[in-house]
Structure 1
Amino acid sequence: MSAEALARRNVWILTIAQALGASGPPIIFSLGGIVGQMLAPNPALVTLPISLYSFGLALGTLPAAAIMRRNGRRTGYLIGATLGLIAGLMASYGIVLASFLVFCLGTFLAGFYGSYVQSYRFAAADAATGSFKAKAISWVMIGGLIAAVIGPQLVIWTRDAFPQAPFAGSFLSQAGLALLAIPVLLLLRTQEAVPAPGPTSPKGKGGRSLREILATPRFVIAVAAGMVSYGLMTFVMTAAPIAMVGCGFTIGEAAFGIQWHVLAMFAPSFFTGNLIARFGKEKITALGLLMIVTAGITALSGLTLAHFYGALILLGFGWNFAFIGATAMVTDCHTAEERSRVQGLNDFLVFGSVACASFFSGALLNAAGWQTINWLIFPIVALMLVPILWQMKAAESAAARASTRAKDA
């Protein structure tokens, strides 16, 4: 099988796996804070289950990368799905026991599964070449669009499956999704993947050290864009269901809000890759960050259901453009030898920021309220846009100089 045919085949498999694997987080984000309110011994800890999911995701990225580098992506992904199965069972059991600790352990372990799911986008690009890299990443993210329907609907359909343990059924369904992912992942054929062509590493086999890579401004900007886009999205999304319930809306309305948000997160993936190919990674990333700003403006404009839904939808659109753009930027920052280490480091830093964002979101919401959460969007985005615009200007200047040299020749 040719590298191109393999890349396209893997994209379809990974899209299905993404749909199943990405259906779990909406369940955690919709219900984690609400279950936390039921079980937490301290109001400041209500979003701890969500924070631990993000922390587990960040903590799992480096060992996941090491396992996949040593044993292959398919083996790693099967290990991840097994962890996801155990995580859902444990979270459900924690609710049955009314144990905040056991429930938190379940969401923490779910984060380790998430660390494998998040790398599906990189696996899709492994055998891709040229402009198909960004498209492959974007197409796999379409699986999240299906997840946006599955996850919140499972919350609604299964939340009362066990009347004496509300929401235990929802987390049991999370375990079922991980179980369904296992036969899908068995179809993956990454062992035939041809490393994506890239520049020859100046360090020879093994490539540059992580210290050298971290000293590269291009990589720092790409990682920072991913951290800001994903961190801000999580910061606002974590607080939103709790804020909605606090404003008098029902749990079902809060779950629908998360559903619309996740739909908005992945729906643009049908065309984000094409936009990146046409306008460039930096421009689409900057556009996404500006859309996150509009989400903050919408949230600050009122407390009706329309304001919450509108803010969450804009937040999802902004995340899609900014995060896929940042991911595509990262793929330009490493050689084939450096791929797994650089991708693992990127995800560790990105999801480490996500873990911090989700934890401080709950504490800040409890201390200062929903409006303060949204006011913080503006300075953070402003600080991120400066280096992106600088990089765009530098790239345009370099292209202009190259064009002038070509004409002179």
Structure 2
Amino acid sequence: MTQDERMDAAAGAAADVSAVQRRTVWVLSIGQVLGGLAFGVTISLGTVIAAAVSGDEAYAGLATAAITLGTALLAVPLAAFARRFGRRRSLASGMAIALIGVVLVVTAVRIGSFPLLLVAFLLIGAGQAANLQSRFAATDLATDRSRGRDLSIVVWATTIGAVLGPNLTAPGEKLGALFGMPTLTGAYVFTLAAQVLGILLYLVALRPDPLLLAQRVVAERAAARTAEAIAKPDRPVVARYAIFAVAAAHGVMVSVMAMTPVHLLHHGADLTIIGMTISLHIAGMYALSPVFGILADRIGRVQTILLGQGLLVAALLTASFGQDSNTSVTIGLILLGLGWSASTVAGSALLTEASSEERRTRRQGISDFTMSIVGAGGAVLAGIILGAIGYGGLAFVVGIAVVAVAALSPIALRSRASVR
């Protein structure tokens, strides 16, 4: 085959890859709706169930801690599994482990076993690890011109399930009663259904596997020496910056968000206001992610990360100086969600293109692990800081991470590949 023939064949393959990528984004988006719904139900009931089974409200927070720990522990193994067997099996496996966890939650409530309940929530963390991995799966076949947009579309799809899930608690209890399920576990009927549908979706519809196809295309394009390739030169310093930027933004967001209900409650806000504030915060996290994805593609990944840091600064200042106003705190939480979104979308895209094909999935797993651990640690430390120096002081302390991300940005900007 001549060089021209190889180029023509590569052009045809690129068209096929583009069609597969569009289909992949749609499948992943539907999977995120199902995964977000399942996770939304779990989070909304987890602390209540933990308090009921343990008999002590002091242990309520261990449910969220166990889920977060499970997410962190399973992020790297699932990424390694994806590297060897593809995204299809990895994502389905994560949701299958979470499905086992949900069944164990119901069992633990029925027999009144708190240790089993914590193990169950630990396994449910695998579902969240799969949800996080989905955003990276959207980049496997993406080009520089569409990587941020494709990733952000999948992130945006989480909004539907995350918002809908907590609202299924009441109808779930009625449905669960029909099946003889223990009190407080009825809504897990929806979780079980969503997990099963998600597993089937990935196994049946995520074909061809985007990661395995990407690996093959990279090899073929390298052999044909085409100009447009999915593989990129490895830039470990830029990759480490991307991991740091995503983890720092997540730590800032979780630290402030976790303590906001406590702060508002102490300032006389009722549960309706607290619920509305958190709902608007979640909307800020996901609703505009496509906007930030497009910005990351057009103005650059690092520039969009810096935009996210600016939004986080605005959020922290608003929440700190307006801590006595419910309206100011709510505005601060919306800005906090927007800053997290910009940083996470652009940082994830930057990590993907700063990593060579053979190192990419491992680093993506490390990023999700780091993100989860920092979030869990931030939530724990935030409670201590809140008790010591108050809500305004907490905002200023976590702002150190924002300053660090901005200060280190020139490291990533020096790389030509990190700009686009």
TM-score with structure 2 length normalisation? 0.80
Note if contact 2:323-2:392 (Cα within 8 Å) is conserved in structure 1: no
**SS of corresponding position for 1:189:** coil
Q: Deviations over 1:111-160 (max 9, x none)?
A: 11211121111111111222111111111112112123212322464468
Matched, 1:131 2:145: yes
Matched, 1:143 2:157: yes
Specify the code of the residue in structure 1 equivalent to 2:135.
R
Q: Extract unaligned runs of 5+ from structure 2.
A: 1-14, 223-233
Counterpart residue number, 1:48: 62
In 2, the alpha carbon distance for the partners of 1:182 and 1:135 equals 25
Specify the code of the residue in structure 2 equivalent to 1:225.
A
In 2, the alpha carbon distance for the partners of 1:248 and 1:158 equals 30
Counterpart residue number, 2:205: 187
In 2, the alpha carbon distance for the partners of 1:23 and 1:147 equals 4
Question: 310-319 or 237-246: which moved more?
Answer: 237-246
Counterpart residue number, 1:263: 283
- Displacement of 1:2: 0.8
Counterpart residue number, 2:225: none
Q: Extract unaligned runs of 5+ from structure 1.
A: 201-212, 400-409
- Displacement of 1:86: 2.3
In 2, the alpha carbon distance for the partners of 1:111 and 1:326 equals 22
Q: After superposition, where does 1:210-225 map in structure 2 within 5 Å?
A: 216-225=236-245
Matched, 1:86 2:100: yes
In 2, the alpha carbon distance for the partners of 1:257 and 1:179 equals 32
CA RMSD of aligned residues (A): 3.3
Q: Looking at secondary structure, tell me which structure has more helix per residue.
A: 2
Specify the code of the residue in structure 2 equivalent to 1:318.
G
Q: After superposition, where does 1:9-408 map in structure 2 within 5 Å?
A: 9-36=23-50, 38=52, 45-95=59-109, 99-155=113-169, 157-158=171-172, 167-185=184-202, 186-191=204-209, 193-195=213-215, 197=218, 216-245=236-265, 247-251=267-271, 253-300=273-320, 301-362=322-383, 364-365=385-386, 370-392=391-413, 394-395=414-415
Q: Deviations over 1:156-176 (max 9, x none)?
A: 644687799764334443333
CA distance 1:375–1:51, shift in 2 (3 Å): farther
In 2, the alpha carbon distance for the partners of 1:166 and 1:252 equals 24
- Displacement of 1:361: 3.6
Counterpart residue number, 1:407: none
Q: Deviations over 1:235-259 (max 9, x none)?
A: 2223334444555545555444333
CA distance 1:233–1:277, shift in 2 (3 Å): same
Q: Deviations over 1:173-201 (max 9, x none)?
A: 3333212212221211143623375997x
In 1, the alpha carbon distance for the partners of 2:340 and 2:28 equals 20
Specify the code of the residue in structure 2 equivalent to 1:267.
A
Note if contact 2:34-2:194 (Cα within 8 Å) is conserved in structure 1: yes
In 1, the alpha carbon distance for the partners of 2:175 and 2:332 equals 31
Note if contact 2:67-2:125 (Cα within 8 Å) is conserved in structure 1: yes
CA distance 1:63–1:171, shift in 2 (3 Å): same
Specify the code of the residue in structure 1 equivalent to 2:394.
I
The number of aligned residues is 385
In 2, the alpha carbon distance for the partners of 1:15 and 1:254 equals 29
